[in-house]
Amino acid sequence: MEKVNFLQEIADIRDLHAGPWMIVGDFNLIVCAEDKNNANLNRRMMARFRSLLNRLELKEIYLHGRRYTWTNERQNPTMEKIDHIFVTNSWEDIYRTHLLKALGTAISDHCPLLVDMDVEFTYGRMFRFESFWAKVEGYLDTVQQAWQSVFLDGTPTRCWRISSKR
């Protein structure tokens, strides 16, 4: 009954505040079966929660890098995504370049969430090797020159990537 009252309270608060909206928290509720690592589900509460989200026109921000936000930390752990961030379309229109990430923790059974509301997405060109290059005159000289000018500041992967681009 407490969860039902909690959902009603969210609806009542939303009715008082028009415009862009974000709601964040440990809801102790899951939206869908994929939010839990086992089949022990309260489908009735899931349906009520989804119904509320639909009625309030709230959608969940996608969580990058992690599937679950809570664990009971047992030998056979139960893991759930019960920490959520929901927004309205009007909020998303304002913060088009947002990104939600999970941070690591060793002191809690929940993982902290970080919303960056102004992410700069960069889409670099990917290096693609063309097999015909090996047949072009001067190919070996070009490769040798690129590898001899190796960028030694960074990880081996970064050095390889930079040399390949050269």
Sequence ranges of the domains in the chain: 2-116, 131-165
Question: What's the CA gap between 141 and 114, in Å, rounded?
Answer: 48
Q: What's domain 2-116's architecture?
A: 4-Layer Sandwich (3.60)
Average pLDDT over residues 48-68: 92
pLDDT band of 70, cuts 50, 70, 90: confident
Report residue 159: phi and psi, to 5°: -60, -45
Average pLDDT over residues 42-49: 95
Report residue 51: phi and psi, to 5°: -60, -45
Instruction: For strands 70-71 and 79-80, give the pairing.
Output: antiparallel
The rounded mean pLDDT for the chain is: 85
pLDDT, one tens digit per residue, over 121-148 is: 666 666 677 778 778 888 888 878 877 7
Task: Provide the token pair at 19.
Answer: 């415009």
Q: Write down the pLDDT at residue 73.
A: 84
Long-range contacts formed by 44-49: CB under 8 A, 24+ apart: 45/3, 48/3, 48/4, 48/7, 49/7
Which residue did the predictor score with more confidence, 124 or 7?
7
Question: What's the CA gap between 16 and 18, in Å, rounded?
Answer: 7
Residue pair 61/115 in contact by the 8 Å Cβ criterion: yes
